A and B are shown apart, each in its own frame.
Chain A
């Protein structure tokens, strides 16, 4: 699998994502600086990492979403290339219009940094095929702006079309309908606030994030 991890000024989970991808797929991703205008030929997975791109200036993910590399990411997404956005990556994907809705300040105003229980809502996506629908998993979150919001019509559509990949199984950040992760209409773009790359080995305290990458490897191979 030929993957690329996008790196913005202020990204800080880019290395974690690269390590997870390499460990599961056996091939290190290309690290792609935000000023690049093209993806490496044949890229078949794009990962947008967590962190504080551009210091969260203006809005989380707002500046990164307008950086040159995101135009290449949007084009690839349109062609069906899988795109995984984690945490700040999810914020970037919503700001870029690749996913609906927006991520606002956590309802409790606190930065939340701990493992949380999630329910896998849909095991039909390329990101969740290695999970069972309804399965409870534990993945850590670390964010200040994870409070997912969208208008009722959009939320109904996400639910109706099975596009909610993960929900929080406990109170975390005030997210509408407990949404932790969603996919786009075509099913090749996933944004999620929890960090699957931080749960891929026993040394992390669990392996519940590993199957996301294994599923992607299987889907792409």
Chain B
């Protein structure tokens, strides 16, 4: 089965890349863009026996740096 993991910067952590993307969107003439934050999307194919706790541990130990990032797990 497949699980989707979204890793995003915590509120308050500056995101220079998101800012650059924001400026580029404005440069292309898109108006009304108020803020852009860049994150990561990770897909994991795994056996049915992998538990929610296992997925949590994967996020905490490697996939996200919890000093600066949050994560969200979506099991299919």
Residues of chain A at the chain B interface (Cβ within 8 Å): 58-59, 62, 66, 94-95, 100-102, 104-109, 147, 149-150, 174
> A95: which B residues are within 8 A, CB to CB?
65
Residues of chain B at the chain A interface (Cβ within 8 Å): 13-14, 16-17, 20, 61-63, 65, 67-68
A104's nearest neighbour on chain B, judged by CB, is B68
A102 to B13, CA, bound (A): 11
Q: Tell whether, in the assembled complex, residue A109 and residue B65 are in contact, meaning their CB atoms are under 8 Å apart.
A: no
Q: A101-B67, A102-B67, A150-B67 are in contact. Are A66 and B61 (CB under 8 A)?
A: yes
Q: Tell whether, in the assembled complex, residue B62 and residue A62 are in contact, meaning their CB atoms are under 8 Å apart.
A: yes
> B68: which A residues are within 8 A, CB to CB?
102, 104, 149
Q: A149-B68, A150-B67 are in contact. Are A105 and B62 (CB under 8 A)?
A: no
B17's nearest neighbour on chain A, judged by CB, is A105
A209 to B13, CA, bound (A): 32
A101 to B62, CA, bound (A): 15
Q: Tell whether, in the assembled complex, residue A106 and residue B16 are in contact, meaning their CB atoms are under 8 Å apart.
A: yes
> B61: which A residues are within 8 A, CB to CB?
66
Q: Tell whether, in the assembled complex, residue A147 and residue B16 are in contact, meaning their CB atoms are under 8 Å apart.
A: yes
Q: Tell whether, in the assembled complex, residue B16 and residue A105 are in contact, meaning their CB atoms are under 8 Å apart.
A: yes
A58 to B59, CA, bound (A): 12
Cross-interface CB contact of A66 among B13, B14, B20, B62, cutoff 8 Å: B62
A135 to B47, CA, bound (A): 58
> B63: which A residues are within 8 A, CB to CB?
58
Q: Tell whether, in the assembled complex, residue A59 and residue B14 are in contact, meaning their CB atoms are under 8 Å apart.
A: no
Q: Tell whether, in the assembled complex, residue A59 and residue B13 are in contact, meaning their CB atoms are under 8 Å apart.
A: no
**A67 vs chain B, min Cβ distance (A):** 12
**A122 vs chain B, min Cβ distance (A):** 23
Cross-interface CB contact of A149 among B13, B20, B62, cutoff 8 Å: B13
> A101: which B residues are within 8 A, CB to CB?
67
Q: Tell whether, in the assembled complex, residue B16 and residue A58 are in contact, meaning their CB atoms are under 8 Å apart.
A: no
The 10 closest A-B pairs by CB, nearest first: A102-B67, A102-B68, A107-B16, A105-B16, A109-B16, A109-B20, A102-B65, A105-B17, A59-B65, A66-B62
> A106: which B residues are within 8 A, CB to CB?
16
A174 to B15, CA, bound (A): 11
Enumerate 18 A-B pairs (CB-CB under 8 Å) in ascending A order.
Answer: A58-B62, A62-B62, A62-B65, A66-B61, A66-B62, A95-B65, A104-B13, A104-B16, A104-B68, A106-B16, A107-B16, A108-B16, A109-B16, A147-B16, A149-B13, A149-B67, A150-B67, A174-B16
B42's nearest neighbour on chain A, judged by CB, is A58
> A100: which B residues are within 8 A, CB to CB?
67
A58 to B61, CA, bound (A): 12
Give the most central of B16, B17, B20, B61: most A CB within 10 Å.
B16
